[in-house]
Structure formats: C-alpha cells, structure tokens
Structure 1
C-alpha cells in the first residue's frame, strides 16, 4: 500500500460585492487521477492571516499501549428501544473514532435513524430506509458508511468517543428496536505535533 501523504493547500476567496457572506459551497474537483483522495480539516476564515491552522492528527497520535503492547480495540454491545443514550468508557488519553454497527429488528423508514453526541453534537442521520436485520455501519476508522457491505448515504458526521467517558444518543422511531455495536481503538498522545 502506498504511503499516505497530506498536502496543505490554501486559497483566497474574494467576494464580488462588499456584503455579508451568508453561505459558502465548496466543490472539490479531481480529474485524471486514480487511488483514494481525502479532504480533511477544511477551514474558512476571514482576513489575510492564517490563524487557526492545525496539522492532521496522525503524526502525533498513537494506539493506546499497556505494558508496551498495543491494547486491542474495545467493543460495546447493546439493545436500543426508541431513543436511548449509551455511555462509553474510553480509557485512552484522548478522543478515539467510533465504528458503529446498527442491526434493526424490524424495517425502519427513510430518515428514521440518527446518532449524535449526548446533547446533539456530531449528529448523523441516514436518509434511506433500513430493512430488518441489515448491517448499517458508520465506520470512522475507514471513513465509510455501508449497508450490508455496500456504500450507503449518510448526512452528518462520523462518530467519536471523548477520553474517559462520553454519551451517545441513538434515535429510532418510537416502538422500534435495534442491536447496536460500538467499536473503538483507544488512543494516546504520541508526542509533539510540530
């Protein structure tokens, strides 16, 4: 596998009129390429000076080690009925991405499933219907959303678990039930970022 190389690009966007900007649409366009391209850490800021730049986290994060050995990923299984808040214990030193698998016990209509942090942050919803016993997977580790292994549309964010403990709300239609599996590789600080 080829080594992943991240390149920082900065562009200036000039307004056509001296008016307040209400919205911005960004459409990355790639031509005549092959392989996988990741767009990360997109940031828009006002003014001529770069003020909030943070490098990608990969160089300064490591998998959590216990007695010198990488700790295996941890799993949390549960059953959700209607809307439930699940508390996950992340014993790592810092946030970790979550892989979430949801297996509904009955058919769920389009737009009926959502996940978010405890009070609504990092929300994701699924605009398509999900049949009973399907494997709806939202995988932060690989940046994929799938249904029974095939790409699936999502609207929102991949999930993560804050260090120590974090609350995760799983919302289904009232009276519906699903099995849920959360998986994470706990992380630790890996050194100076720069």
Structure 2
C-alpha cells in the first residue's frame, strides 16, 4: 500500500520583488522503490491557505434503493463533428470512460474530444485504423488502442452533474461508433 507524506517548505525571497518563475527539482538519493510526487502547491503568505483532501473521503458511488447504482452506458455514432449530450443523474461530476471505434482509417491527430465548447481537450496524435478500439479511461487513468498503451495529448474526460456536452471531432467525412460509460457519483461523508 502506498504511503504518502505531506511536506511543506517556506521559500523566502531575497528581495522585495515580484516572483516571475519558480523551479522545483525533486532530488532522490540512495533509495529504492516507487516515489510519486503529487499535488504540488505554491501559495503566497505565511499561513496554509489551501488543502485538497483525496476525493475518496468526499465522494461515493450514487446509491438508489439502498444499493449502488450500476454504471450508465451511452452509445452513439458520430460523423465528422458532433456534440453529444450525456445525462448524469448523479449529484456531482463523474469520471467518463470513452471507447471510440472508427469505421474507416483516420489520419494522425484527426480524432479529438472536448468538454462543452472546447475545454478539457484531448487528441490522439497517432493514426487510427478502422475498427480499432481507442479507449480513454478516466476511471483507471489509461489510454489504449486495442488493449495496448496509446499516446494521447490532453485530459481524461468527465461528465458534469445533470447534463454535460461533449464535442467529438473526427477526420472530415469519416464516422466512428462511440461508447460512453460513467459511474454516477454523489457526495459522501464529511470532507475531514
């Protein structure tokens, strides 16, 4: 089981001037195993002003009739460019797993997804072939093509509570089947 340690350091400026940039260089010596650096936060002032707990303490899977609601599936077909609207009946945002099945070969960089009018963008710089299974899995933080790691540029997708819009862009005149899957979420216990 991974063990996380929170470290805090104070950086004092040598002169009373505006900070233009900060460079952080993690240095590890004489150790073995895995090390993760997460949640780097820089803030101004003498006191701790922000703290972000792991969402596991704040969120839980949506419950209905005393049990966890099964994941929701949405199927669709997109030609060239479409906006897909998903209905998330959970009480908060949920990670969104997306499978894209191109119906014909598409050139590198022509398959793109985005939230709303263009935020949270992701694109696939590699070319895709007809009937590939491109999986962008927010739940497990993986991107694969036919089960093998596949490069993406940008962000994993999520579904906002109630309804969320998802822009799907493909090579002009080309078509793909899509499968969106989400586990709707609700607020859990207390945040602390």
Q: TM-score range by the shorter chain?
A: 0.7 to 0.9
Structure number with larger C-alpha Rg: 2
Partner of 2:137: 139
The TM-score normalised by the length of structure 2 is: 0.86
Partner of 1:112: 110
Partner of 2:159: 161
* SS across alignment from 1:58: helix
Residues 9 and 170 of structure 1, relative CA distance in 2, 3 Å threshold:
farther
* SS across alignment from 2:54: coil
Residues 124 and 25 of structure 1, relative CA distance in 2, 3 Å threshold:
farther
- What CA distance in whole angstroms lies between the structure 2 residues aligned with 1:191 and 1:104? 41
Partner of 1:21: 20
Residues 70 and 45 of structure 1, relative CA distance in 2, 3 Å threshold:
same
Matches within 5 A, 1:46-125: 46-125=44-123
Residues 116 and 99 of structure 1, relative CA distance in 2, 3 Å threshold:
same
Q: What is the RMSD of the two structures over their aligned residues, measured on CA atoms? A: 2.5
- What CA distance in whole angstroms lies between the structure 2 residues aligned with 1:84 and 1:189? 31
5+ long unaligned stretches in structure 1: none
Residues 176 and 95 of structure 1, relative CA distance in 2, 3 Å threshold:
same
How far off is 1:109 after superposition?
Answer: 1.2
Residues 111 and 25 of structure 1, relative CA distance in 2, 3 Å threshold:
farther
How far off is 1:8 after superposition?
Answer: 3.4
Partner of 1:178: 176
Conserved? CA contact 1:115–1:171, under 8 Å: yes
How far off is 1:129 after superposition?
Answer: 1.1
Residues 85 and 8 of structure 1, relative CA distance in 2, 3 Å threshold:
farther
Partner of 2:147: 149
The TM-score normalised by the length of structure 1 is: 0.85
Partner of 1:191: 189
